[in-house]
Amino acid sequence: MTAPRLPADLHPPRMDALARLPVFLALKGKRVVMVGGNAAAVWKAELLSAAGAHVEVFAPLPADEMIGLAENPPSGTVTIHHRDIAADDFADAAIAVGTFDDDGAAAQFAATARARGVPVNVIDKPAFCDFAFGAIVNRSPLVIGISTDGAAPVFGMAVRAKIEAMIPRGFARWAAAARRWRGALFATGLSHPRRRRFWQIFARYAAIHPDREPTQSDFEGFLEETTHEAPDNGSVTLVGAGPGDPELLTLRAVRALQSADIILVDDLVAPEILDFARREAKKMLVGKTGHRPSCKQEKINTLMVTLAKAGKRVVRLKGGDPMIFGRATEEIAACRAAGIPVEVVPGISAAQGAASRLGVSLTDRGRARRVQYVTGHGSDGRLPADIDWTSIADPGATTIVYMPAKTLAAFAATAIASGLDAATPAVAVINATRPDETVIRATIADLPQHLSAAQPPGPAVVMIGRVFSRVPAAIADTRPASRAAR
């Protein structure tokens, strides 16, 4: 008998190393020193002025563009000193920026600034820089910075162009409205979950109406919608994480992950999926894996309800689609019995993900009349006794077998004995849509032996039917060489 296990805190992998820490400096009213008066210096001086800094430029012979900038700066003042910089000029500077052709002069500038505790940037000379300027998408106060750590500036600009196309210019007005309204919202005395709900309504509306000018009536409307919702009793959302590839998450799934307080995670969910969740959200592993220690379903139900009653927004994150062999009915019933609002966000199923990678339609015209989903094991871990074997033997059906690893041999033998042609094409897909996806193609008679030899380390789905005769050999032959049954 498989021993039960208790829900446990999940500690996702640490953040990957960062080439640069993205930091947004508040420079309004602060002094910045700039050495150089050429075109590169002009652009940086304009950028710094736009951020509200008082820019002091040291250049014996500044370009006409720099003189013009000083006469008409975007925000903070630009003052030109027609001389070289001196050590005392770094006093009280927030940052120092310079442009030099000579590495020796650049090194001296950087050393002098650092000696006075001033972070320094030497334009186009990363070796002398404490910080870097990235490509910018400006929807201020919404500002997006992009850095490639100097490795590929052109690529950074290409990414910037993509983001520019995605972010409407009207978002600047909505971001400005958010800044105006934050204090007023806090003054209402709403609870933290209610305030967060206000901003969710705000963001949803802004995304739909980016070019509208936000008004006070919008604020009042969002506030009314927030305050008239049900009390803060928490909620549960069953979210389908898909078969593994994070890019297959739905937009609604991403929104649910980003608004969750607590995420209850299945064993089979790809770790990369959690990168879309709020970092502050608590993650708990409530694994249910066949033939290994698993959390009892009753404990999972109780945990969901208890957390939601405490006012938490709970996401129950499941691999594939929660409505296909995901115990969704039991979890929905538990929430409804406790009066907890429950929502389901469907996901791409393992069968859909696997079929898309194979390039095979599960309902290929002329080869399949229907698709049927079958579980490979019952509650006791054995082949279910109530499978409709006549239906499995139907040559016009495409059959998808979930959780087949331990019972496929018995499944295949019984299906063949019930009339299924032993030569029917079959495919096992392990870790569908993930980088380590493995595909094994054989007849249904031979597939159990191949799957057993492969000893798949991840979730597998077996698909049976005439439609799989069209699986290209190049796609199917992806078994690890050390394990492949030839």
Supply the DSSP symbol for 466: G
d(CA 20, CA 445): 55
Burial (CB count within 10 angstroms: exposed 0-12, middle 13-18, buried 19+), residue 101: exposed
Reference 200, options 256, 247, 240, 144; nearest CA is: 256
Cα dihedral 383→386→389→390 (10° resolution): -170
Whole-number pLDDT of residue 485 = 36
Clarify whether 421 is annotated catalytic: no
Q: Of 277, 23, 16, which Cα lies nearest the Cα of 147?
A: 23
Cα–Cα distance measured from residue 486 to residue 481, given in angstroms and rounded to the nearest whole number = 9
Write down the catalytic residue from 30, 125, 288, 318.
288
Give the residue extent of every domain in the chain.
31-133, 171-227, 235-348, 351-476
Q: Are 297 and 264 in contact (CB under 8 A)?
A: no
User: For this structure, is 288 an active site residue?
Assistant: yes
Residue 89: how many other CB atoms lie within 10 Å: 20
Roughly what angle, to the nearest 10 degrees, separates helices 192-208 and 216-227?
Answer: 130
pLDDT at 382: 87
Write the burial class of residue 152 (CB in 10 Å: 0-12 exposed, 13-18 middle, 19+ buried): exposed
C-alpha 436/C-alpha 275 separation (Å) is 19
Q: Let me know if the fold of 31-133 is the same as that of 351-476.
A: no
Pick the CATH number of 31-133 from 3.40.50.300, 3.40.50.620, 3.90.550.10, 3.40.50.720: 3.40.50.720
pTM surpassing 0.85?
A: no
Q: What is the CA radius of gyration of the chain?
A: 30
Residues of the chain with pLDDT under 50: 1, 478-486
Q: If you classify domain 235-348 with CATH, what class do you get?
A: alpha beta
Find how far residue 377's CA is from the centre of its chain.
32
* Residue linked to tokens 């500044």: 62
Cα–Cα nearest to 463, from 437, 431, 432, 428: 428
Choice among 261, 266, 321, 394 that is catalytic? 266
Contact 351, 373 (CB under 8 A): yes
- Distance CA(316)–CA(7), nearest Å, equals 13
CA dist 283 and 265 (Å) reads 7
Is 480 strand, coil or helix?
coil
| Best CA proximity match to 365, nearest among 467, 464, 462 | 467
Task: Give 53-58's long-range contacts (Cβ < 8 A, gap of 24+).
Answer: 53/27, 53/28, 53/29, 53/94, 54/29, 54/30, 54/79, 55/79, 56/31, 56/32, 56/81, 56/89, 57/81, 58/33, 58/34, 58/83, 58/84, 58/85, 58/89
Positive/negative CA dihedral, 50, 56, 59, 64: positive
Q: Which fold has domain 351-476?
A: 3.30.950
In the structure encoding, which two tokens stand for residue 262, read together? 């607590």
Please give the pLDDT value at position 153: 82
Closest CA to 350 of 463, 467, 474: 463
